[in-house]
Amino acid sequence: MITIINIDPKNPQPIFEQVKEGLKNLIIRGVLEPDEKIPSVREMAQILAINPNTIQRAYRELEAEGYVYQVTGKGTFVAAVVIGKNPGKIEALLNEVLKLSRELVYLGISKEEIKSHLDKL
């Protein structure tokens, strides 16, 4: 499952962000389920052939964003979704969707097309 994360050294996005976004994507899509243990920092570093400090930074940021939690001596686990847990982040993401939707309308995409893409969720 973790091999689904693609790290592109040519990508200008820092490696830790690629790891973070890859894991976040797996969590959001339900590939990694709540309370599922993810590989340790060392294991993930070996799987992806990346420095453990890079993995640690990605895990720290995922924990700060509420996507994972750590249990001392046991490892890192996928956090359960708590509805309304982070209203500030929800508002920011909704504003981003609105901003992108406005840009799409400006580029000639109809509201109906935008809605049909959202219905694919």
Q: What is the pLDDT of residues 13-62, one digit of tens each?
A: 999 999 999 999 999 888 999 999 999 999 999 999 999 999 999 999 99
Model confidence, pTM: 0.75
Q: Return the closest-CA partner of residue 57 out of 111, 16, 87.
A: 16
In sequence order, the 6+-apart residues with CB closer than 8 A to the CB of 90 are: 84
- Token pair for residue 81? 């979704």
Beta bridge partners of 77: 37, 69
Strands (E), 75-119: 75-78
- Candidate from 42-46, 50-54, 82-86, 97-101 with smallest mean pLDDT: 82-86
Confidence of residue 84 (pLDDT cuts 50, 70, 90): low
